[in-house]
């Protein structure tokens, strides 16, 4: 409404400028404003000007005091920002936003910058037109801000259509065929652009048979998606099967050093670029959880990745090569093998051996998207490699979009982590210089996009943190609330805002309280990973153990007496994690095996802490349910009802977690709860 009710001038050409015009035209048709493509009469005034710098009339100088729409101050101010003559100041996606003499001005060198500038004005709403708006240059910290869909074309017999998907079916395929009507995909492209995301893989990293064909005979389906996402500045990438030359090309091998294999990839890739000229590149999960890879041929992951990198290089493409490589068939009796070590052990020796267009994509923690893990040591250990950090917006281990769990604070803590100590660079600095930020998508065909309507905030935060990793996650949540619960749609904004902050600000920590304690992770039901099962993975080959016995719990990952994982960190963390005294409480059981009566920094014992947090967590969820009910009548009724049902389930599940975890540890330890609460 803030834009649609005003007089707007859009200057420039190009597909994304057309997108901007279209957005504003629709808004003006709805709210009575006007949009112009050029200034017809000298002196005509506008409230908002969005312009490509190349499309501006002759460069204003101080002498052009009467410059028609900028006014002298704005002209000089923007000139001082060097937006012209120094294009690197803005970059391909940056923009200047300023307001002088009652005109709000967005200037960008490239159409993509103008699109992001538009969404910034949308975010600001009325305040973009107030005197308080300062002049500023906006630029994304990360060049690659990517979403990975884990969508399958066909429904997988165990995983369903979207692997670890909790938002209905795929946005792209239905019943094994591409969706005919791509209107929803178009709306999704708009949503991604509004969050600041500029790249998307459309298919699962586990590339099954039908999806392998997306590279060749089903490429048209990918091209159709790319066509729809292109006007929103989102490039399409594809997850590929490393064995594609065998599966699709009838070659006898997929050996990356075999000339026939290299030729096969080169020509397949050439055809991809003929169909999709701005194709982003490949994402590869190799030698991981049963996926094929270079190990079968005695080749390294650098040799595998470089072969694909050479295929996409002539077209400016990149290869995201995932570092999630570990032995998923380990013997649970063998305590010397540590899954947490695997990515570092496999990849760090290869530092410097990857091509410039290879990005090693590293999960944020060394295990697997648990509610609490230390930051992966790989991120800081490959200075000669482009590294991306991967987070999981889809809530596989954080409540599966049935629980409210706002992950902005978790991701923010990862991005702010300084592997070499407070004076060194942060994870955000490292990945901004290389591979960027990747989030596994949580969106699907669900009416609310994300199953749990409040899980949309995670998608939003993922894009916004990739743009500005130093942003305060609570402020980002506030932005999302403002954009989603809108007085224009009948929502009563202020009570909604207050209640959503109450429910969501600390929801990640609440989830942590009632699930696996002190960084130990897992304790979920094997297979689908929902709900508690403390020993579910304890005697399996997956490498995810807690080692609880009658005396204590936790994994000894020290150099002194354990797996030596702490040695993968640089100082000071190597020493901090190694030391039982210095290790942060929340990661204690990730790094140490301790007795139940071990005293934490917070003064409580491990066992009492387990009881206290589990009672508190479940209690907090019951409060959240009550708080949500205060919004009855203040938000969209369908959304209200959906969240009511989901909160019922969250309460039930949190109580189940509480009782199973508390009972398990009471029975193991024999230590009663100091407060005498019910344990079974």
Instruction: Please spell the DSSP secondary structure of 448-460, one letter per residue.
Output: TSSSSGGGHHHHH
Q: Is there binding between residue 346 and ligand GCU (CB under 6 A)?
A: no
Does 205 bind ligand GCU (CB under 6 A)? Our answer is yes
| Pairwise CA distance, residues 662 & 657, whole Å | 8
- Per DSSP, what are the bridge partners of residue 199? 146, 235
Q: Which one, 531 or 572, has the nearer CB to ligand GCU? A: 531
Closest to ligand GCU by CB, 396 or 556 = 396
What is 486-544 written as a DSSP string?
-GGGT--HHHHHHHHHHHHTTHHHHHHHHSS-TT----BPTTT--SB-TTTTTTSTTS-
396 part of the active site: yes
Q: How far is the CB of 190 from ligand GCU (least distance, A)?
A: 28
Which of 205, 229 has the CB closer to ligand GCU?
A: 205
State which residue, 283 or 318, has the beta carbon closest to ligand GCU: 283
At 536, list the tokens.
């579910």
100 bridge partner residues: 103
CB of 110 or CB of 211, closer to ligand GCU: 211
Q: Please check whether residue 364 is in contact with residue 391, taking contact to mean a CB–CB distance below 8 angstroms.
A: yes
Which residues ranging from 235 to 294 are in contact with ligand GCU (CB under 6 A)? 285
Q: What contacts 275, CB < 8 A, 6 or more positions away?
A: 219, 220, 222, 223
Q: Do the beta carbons of residue 74 and residue 98 sit within 8 Å? A: yes
Residue 260: how many other CB atoms lie within 10 Å: 12
**Which lies closer to ligand GCU via its Cβ, residue 324 or residue 406?**
324
Among 67, 99, 138, 164, binds ligand GCU (CB under 6 A): 164
Contact (Cβ atoms closer than 8 angstroms) between residue 455 and residue 395: yes
Asked if 206 touches ligand GCU (CB under 6 A), the answer is yes
Least distance CB 164 / ligand GCU (angstroms): 5
Closest separation in Å from C-beta 373 to ligand GCU: 13
Name the active-site residue from 368, 491, 556, 612.
Answer: 368
Site string for ligand GCU, 97-116 (x = CB under 6 A): --------------------
Query: Which of the residues 287, 396, 512, 556 is marked catalytic?
Result: 396
Quick check: 338 binds ligand GCU (CB under 6 A)? no
Give the relative orientation of helices 301-312 and 259-275 as an angle to the nearest 10 degrees: 40
Tokens of 390: 């991967």
120 as an active site residue: the answer is: no
Least Cβ distance, residue 148 to ligand GCU (angstroms):
9
Minimal distance, residue 162 CB to ligand GCU, in Å: 10
Here's the x/- map for ligand GCU, 377-416, by CB under 6 A: it reads as -------------------x--------------------
368 catalytically annotated: yes
Query: Cβ closer to ligand GCU: 205 or 308?
Result: 205
Contact between 368 and ligand GCU by CB under 6 A: the answer reads yes
The interaxial angle of helices 456-467 and 183-195, nearest 10 deg, is: 50
Question: Least distance from C-beta 10 to ligand GCU, angstroms?
Answer: 42
DSSP string for residues in 555-612: ----TTTS--GGGGSPTTHHHHHH-TTTS-GGGHHHH--EETTPBPTTSSBHHHHHHH
Q: Which of 289, 334, 356, 492 is catalytic?
A: 289
Instruction: In angstroms, give the least distance from the CB of 538 to ligand GCU.
Output: 17
User: Cβ 617 to ligand GCU, closest distance in Å?
Assistant: 23
Spatial distance between the Cα atoms of 292 and 242, rounded to a whole number of angstroms? 6
**Using CA atoms, how far apart are residues 426 and 418, in angstroms rounded to an integer?**
4
Site string for ligand GCU, 305-324 (x = CB under 6 A): -------------------x
- Is the separation of the CB atoms in 114 and 120 below 8 Å? no
x-or-dash string of contact with ligand GCU, 622-651, rule CB under 6 A:
------------------------------
Q: Are 181 and 224 in contact (CB under 8 A)?
A: no
Question: Binding residues for ligand GCU, how many (CB under 6 A)?
Answer: 8
Q: Which residues are the active-site residues? A: 289, 368, 396
Residues engaged in binding ligand GCU (CB under 6 A) = 163-164, 205-206, 285, 324, 368, 396
């Amino acid at each position: 409404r803030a834009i649609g009710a005003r007089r707007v001038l859009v200057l420039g050409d190009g597909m994304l400028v057309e997108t901007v015009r279209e957005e504003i035209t629709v808004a003006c048709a709805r709210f009575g404003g006007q949009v112009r493509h050029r200034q017809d009469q000298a002196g005509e005034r506008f409230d908002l000007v969005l312009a490509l710098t190349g499309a501006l009339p002759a460069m204003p100088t101080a002498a052009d005091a009467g410059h028609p729409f900028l006014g002298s101050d704005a002209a000089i101010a923007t000139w001082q920002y060097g937006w012209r003559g120094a294009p690197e100041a803005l970059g391909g996606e940056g923009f200047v936003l300023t307001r002088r003499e009652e005109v709000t001005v967005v200037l960008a060198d490239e159409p993509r910058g103008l699109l992001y500038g538009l969404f910034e004005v949308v975010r600001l709403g009325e305040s973009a037109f107030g005197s308080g708006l300062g002049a500023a240059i906006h630029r994304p910290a990360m060049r690659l801000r990517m979403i990975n869909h884990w969508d399958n074309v066909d429904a997988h017999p165990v995983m369903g259509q979207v692997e670890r998907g909790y938002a209905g079916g795929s946005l792209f395929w239905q019943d094994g065929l591409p969706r005919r009507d791509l209107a929803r995909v178009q709306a999704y492209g708009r949503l991604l652009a509004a969050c600041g995301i500029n790249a998307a893989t459309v298919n699962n990293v586990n590339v099954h048979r039908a999806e392998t064909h997306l590279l060749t005979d089903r490429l048209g389906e990918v091209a159709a998606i790319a066509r729809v996402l292109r006007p929103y500045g989102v490039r399409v990438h594809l997850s590929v099967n490393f064995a594609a030359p065998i599966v699709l090309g009838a070659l006898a091998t997929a050996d990356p050093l075999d000339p026939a294999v290299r030729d096969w990839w080169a020509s397949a890739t050439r055809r991809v670029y003929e169909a999709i000229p701005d194709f982003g590149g490949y994402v590869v999960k190799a030698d991981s959880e049963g996926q094929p890879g270079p190990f079968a041929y005695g080749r390294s992951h650098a040799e595998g990745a470089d072969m694909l990198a050479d295929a996409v290089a002539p077209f400016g493409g990149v290869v995201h090569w995932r570092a999630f490589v570990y032995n998923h068939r380990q013997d649970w009796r063998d305590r010397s093998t540590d899954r947490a070590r695997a990515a570092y052990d496999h990849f760090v020796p290869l530092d410097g051996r990857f091509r410039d267009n290879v990005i090693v994509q590293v999960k944020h923690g060394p295990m697997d998207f648990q509610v609490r893990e230390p930051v992966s040591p790989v991120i800081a250990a490959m200075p000669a490699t482009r590294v991306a950090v991967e987070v999981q917006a889809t809530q596989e281990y954080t409540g599966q979009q049935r629980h409210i769990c706002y992950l902005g604070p978790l991701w923010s803590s990862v991005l702010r982590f300084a592997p070499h100590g407070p004076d060194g660079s942060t994870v955000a600095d490292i990945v901004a210089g290389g591979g960027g930020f990747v989030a596994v998508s949580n969106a699907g065909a669900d009416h609310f996009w994300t199953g749990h309507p409040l899980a949309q905030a995670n998608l939003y935060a993922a894009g916004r943190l990739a743009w500005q990793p130093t942003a305060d996650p609570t402020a980002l949540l506030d932005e999302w609330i403002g954009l989603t619960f809108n007085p224009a749609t009948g929502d009563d904004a202020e009570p909604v805002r207050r209640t959503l902050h109450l429910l969501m600000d600390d929801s990640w920590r609440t989830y942590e309280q009632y699930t696996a304690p002190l960084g130990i992770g897992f304790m979920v039901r094997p297979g689908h990973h929902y709900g508690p099962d403390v020993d579910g993975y304890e005697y399996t080959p997956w490498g995810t153990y807690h080692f609880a016995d009658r005396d204590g719990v936790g994994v000894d990952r020290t150099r002194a007496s354990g797996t030596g994982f702490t040695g993968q960190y640089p100082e000071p963390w190597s020493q901090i994690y190694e030391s039982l005294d210095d290790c942060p409480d929340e990661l204690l059981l990730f790094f140490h095996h301790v007795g139940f009566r071990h005293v934490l920094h917070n003064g409580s014992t491990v066992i009492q802490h387990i009881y206290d947090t589990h009672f508190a967590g479940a209690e907090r969820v019951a409060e959240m349910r009550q708080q949500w009910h205060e919004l009855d009548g203040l938000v969209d009724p369908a959304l209200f009802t959906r969240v009511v049902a989901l909160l019922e389930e969250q309460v039930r599940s949190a109580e189940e977690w509480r009782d199973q975890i508390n009972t398990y540890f009471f029975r193991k330890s024999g230590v009663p709860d100091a407060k005498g609460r019910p344990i079974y």
